[in-house]
Amino acid sequence: MAKQPMLKFVTVARDMPEKRPPDLRAHDFGEIYREYADAKAAEQSARCSQCGVPYCQSHCPLHNNIPDWLRLTAEGRLEEAYAISQSTNTFPEICGRICPQDRLCEGNCVIEQSGHGTVTIGAVEKYITDTAWEKGWVKPVQPAQERSESVGIIGAGPGGLAAADMLRRAGVQVTVYDRYDRGGGLMTYGIPGFKLEKDVVMRRVDQLEQSGVQFRLNCEVGRDISFAELRESHDAVLIATGVYKSRDLQAPGIGANGIVRAIDFLTASNRKGFGDAVETFDDGELNAEGKKVVVIGGGDTAMDCVRTSIRQGAESVKCLYRRDRTNMPGSQREVQNAEEEGVEFVWLSAPKGFHGESVAGVMVSKMRLGAPDATGRQSPEIIEGADYVEDADLVIMALGFEPEDLPTLWGQPELEVTRWGTVKADFRTHETSLPGVYAAGDIVRGASLVVWAIRDGREAAAAILDRMNASARVAAE
């Protein structure tokens, strides 16, 4: 009988790939985790207990077949592991790097719940597909047959690209329109390189291009081409434009120089990483070097801003958040990484105003947590008489994102949106109130995650294909 390769969680401890030491990683934008060696990936995969009802899988938005690819990795059958992994996930190596696994697959692994430490699912997923790229197993799509129908996709983020991939596999003609000069959406210009190196995203965009996906970059729908024109040119349209309107703060002094938006700061930094000339960075406006930086917000975008500031050589970096550590929205893993790199968190603190024409300080109100609100979260309350000033010469506002007003911007009043401005789309088909127009990702969900955008994009593509196939059948009758 073959030797049982799995269930090693009792004898083998959880072991993540090595993290680069803070004093080394805090000076560059390379990813902080090193790669598993082959033997380590096999050993860690073998810890899985091959649950009959795998909660890891049901809590993965893509319902990845995790137990199967863990077993194949433990057995050294990596090409098969890759085949299974990529059958449900368009970008497994990206999700392996940046999914908040502690809230998704790994947070629901039963051996974690039995106190043995979760299987390192994300790290193994990354390892499998990085290996597949190295070995040349990741190939451009070659549809068995070309179809005449075409789909226009607005937005080259993960939602749009996942749909483009699925549609091309079926032979559909796909054009992706994006107002940026590179594809990838927030994976390219939002998320910093220390979480997701840019060549990992670019090789995917390049491969989609090799698969026959047409990219029309530097093309803003609503400005360079009208939405109506786009609808006329394609059999179906997918809106995957994400959410980009920064939430602002109304407070005295908010217009001072040196108070900037997180998305502008991160985009400039990512552009510099590509070697682009960025005037607002080069003139110092969006560069944290030598500055006392205060970042306002407690989400993952704030975490990315503080860690980017450290890497740019800030004199000091503080993060102000109005609740405490346990009640912050950002991932605890990222807070730990930031603290290791020298960021100071100032909990229970909210900005009240700003000093200086060029910002010199943030007036801070100290807070305590009061009674829970309707959602059950404790509301922060101001502690009277405890205000103080936090010195700062760069303040980065990371208070979240809202959707742009697409019906107005695109002259499409019939495009129904929710009261938050996100596009209304059918839960399963992702079709909007406009026939033949679908929507996916953050523009439907509000600011969310790459893995959810991939799921939406894949589901929308499947619904578009169903509709096309039904029409083709009717035409043939």
| Residues found near ligand SF4 in the complex (CB under 6 A) | 48-51, 54-56, 60, 62, 64, 66-67, 89, 95-96, 99, 101, 104-105, 109-111, 119, 121-122, 125, 451
Sheet holding 150-154, edge to edge: 214-216, 173-177, 150-154, 236-239, 437-439
Report the site for ligand FAD in 146-205 (rule: CB under 6 A).
Answer: 154-160, 177-180, 185-187, 190-191, 195
Q: How far is CA 28 from the centre of its chain?
A: 21
Report the site for ligand FAD in 421-450 (rule: CB under 6 A).
Answer: 441-442, 448-450
Smallest distance, ligand FAD to C-beta of residue 442, A: 4
Closest CB to ligand FAD among residues 9, 215: 215
Question: Beta partners for 345?
Answer: 319
31 touches ligand FAD (CB under 6 A): no
306 contact, one of ligand SF4, ligand FAD, none, CB 5-8 Å limit per kind: none
- Return the amino acid letter for 69: W
How long is the chain?
A: 477
Closest CB to ligand FAD among residues 93, 304: 304
Smallest distance, ligand SF4 to C-beta of residue 104, A: 4
Structure tokens at 367: 């807070």
Smallest distance, ligand FAD to C-beta of residue 266, A: 5
Q: Say if CB 162 and CB 453 are below 8 A apart.
A: yes
Contacting residues for 100 by C-beta, under 8 A, at least 6 apart: 300, 331, 333, 449
Closest CB to ligand SF4 among residues 105, 461: 105
Alpha-carbon distance 322 to 377, whole Å? 13
Alpha-carbon separation of residue 251 from 183, 247, 347, 355, 444 (angstroms):
36, 13, 20, 11, 30
Q: Give φ, ψ of 331 to 5 degrees.
A: -75, 140
Q: Give φ, ψ of 38 to 5 degrees.
A: -55, -45
382 contact, one of ligand FAD, ligand SF4, none, CB 5-8 Å limit per kind: none
Smallest distance, ligand FAD to C-beta of residue 356, A: 27
Closest CB to ligand FAD among residues 74, 238: 238
| Residue whose tokens read 């360079």 | 224
H helix or E strand, kind and range, residue 96 = helix 92-98
Closest CB to ligand SF4 among residues 76, 372: 76
Contacting residues for 408 by C-beta, under 8 A, at least 6 apart: none
351 touches ligand FAD (CB under 6 A): no
Q: Say if CB 401 and CB 263 are below 8 A apart.
A: yes
Instruction: Sketch the per residue contact string, 39 through 58, with ligand FAD: x for CB under 6 A, - otherwise.
Output: --------------------
Q: Give φ, ψ of 454 to 5 degrees.
A: -65, -45
295 touches ligand FAD (CB under 6 A): no
Closest CB to ligand FAD among residues 266, 464: 266
Alpha-carbon distance 257 to 265, whole Å? 14
H helix or E strand, kind and range, residue 132 = helix 121-135
Smallest distance, ligand SF4 to C-beta of residue 41, A: 14
Q: Give φ, ψ of 474 to 5 degrees.
A: -60, -45
208 touches ligand FAD (CB under 6 A): no
221 contact, one of ligand FAD, ligand SF4, none, CB 5-8 Å limit per kind: ligand FAD
H helix or E strand, kind and range, residue 207 = helix 198-210
Smallest distance, ligand FAD to C-beta of residue 447, A: 6
Size of the site for ligand FAD (CB under 6 A): 36
Q: How far is CA 318 from the centre of its chain?
A: 24
Smallest distance, ligand FAD to C-beta of residue 308, A: 9
Among 31, 235, 300, 341, binds ligand FAD (CB under 6 A): 300
Residue 324 has, within 13 A of its CA and on its CB side, a CA count of 8
Instruction: Sketch the per residue contact string, 244 through 283, with ligand FAD: x for CB under 6 A, - otherwise.
Output: ----------------------x-----------------
Structure tokens at 423: 């596009």
156 contact, one of ligand FAD, ligand SF4, none, CB 5-8 Å limit per kind: ligand FAD
Closest CB to ligand FAD among residues 120, 301: 301
Q: Sign of the C-alpha dihedral, residues 357, 360, 363, 364?
A: positive
Binding positions for ligand FAD, rule: CB under 6 A = 98-99, 154-160, 177-180, 185-187, 190-191, 195, 220-222, 240-242, 266, 300-301, 304, 441-442, 448-451, 453
